């Protein structure tokens, strides 16, 4: 069991803070532009590769777009809650590389699924962070809905099963369930690679 005793713990470390600020700025800019009849969606959202809307930069930019304020707030809350721990434990450089690769990898894999019109949100990257937290601190207790204590490893396992079921059977609910799973898959590959090849070598 990993004991979490970081030196110089920060409640809002550098990368988490800047990611929250960037996401908030992009959301606000898109909101203002929409009031003027414009939108960032056609440029920054992720379209599937079988549509005319796909552009090569979208697997990066879609991570900073959100469909509504609730979507933004929930993602940023999870980024703060779990990302803070992982950035303090890993360090900023490793955290940023992991976060971006999870998000970009999830975007690329999701864009390969035919028939998906567009996707937005940081969820692919954040689900990668959730996986990292569960694998690094499997026995840490998380309070589900702030009431029910649940070990991180069981929470992550339940989320994987739930996302898989919803992705297979609730395909038109407006949520990119497979992007969440793809973010976890990329995160799993990175963590397993780093365990065999220590990150400090790179």
Angle between helices 152-169 and 177-196 (to 10 degrees): 140
Rounded CA separation 44/113 (Å): 18
Residue 71 is among the residues annotated as catalytic for this protein: no
For the CA atoms of the chain, what is the radius of gyration?
17
- How far is CA 193 from each of CA 23, 98, 100, 146, 187, rounded to the nearest angstrom? 29, 12, 16, 34, 10
Catalytic residue among 18, 123, 177, 197: 123
Catalytic residue among 48, 66, 177, 180: 180
Residue 68 CA from chain centroid, whole number:
16
Closest to 120 (Cα-Cα) out of 150, 153, 75: 75
E-state strands within 91-159: 118-119, 141-144, 148-151
Inter-residue contact 84 to 11 (CB < 8 Å): yes
Residue 48 is among the residues annotated as catalytic for this protein: no
E-state strands within 61-155: 118-119, 141-144, 148-151
Q: What are the residue numbers of the active site?
A: 123, 180
């Amino acid at each position: 069991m990993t004991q979490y005793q970081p030196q110089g713990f920060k409640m809002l470390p550098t990368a988490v803070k800047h990611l929250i600020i960037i996401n908030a700025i992009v959301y606000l800019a898109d909101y203002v532009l929409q009031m003027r009849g414009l939108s960032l969606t056609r440029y920054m959202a992720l379209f599937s590769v079988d549509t005319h809307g796909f552009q090569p930069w979208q697997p990066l930019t879609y991570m900073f777009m959100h469909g509504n304020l609730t979507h933004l707030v929930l993602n940023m809350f999870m980024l703060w809650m779990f990302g803070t721990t992982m950035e303090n434990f890993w360090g900023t450089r490793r955290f940023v590389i992991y976060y971006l690769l999870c998000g970009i990898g999830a975007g690329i894999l999701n864009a390969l699924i035919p028939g998906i019109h567009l996707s937005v949100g940081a969820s692919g990257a954040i689900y990668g962070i959730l996986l990292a937290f569960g694998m690094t601190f499997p026995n840490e207790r998380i309070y589900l809905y702030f009431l029910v204590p649940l070990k991180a490893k069981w929470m992550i396992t339940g989320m994987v099963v739930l996302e898989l079921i919803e992705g297979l059977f609730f395909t038109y609910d407006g949520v990119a369930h497979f992007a969440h799973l793809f973010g976890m898959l990329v995160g799993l590959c990175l963590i397993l690679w780093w365990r065999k090849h220590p990150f400090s070598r790179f």
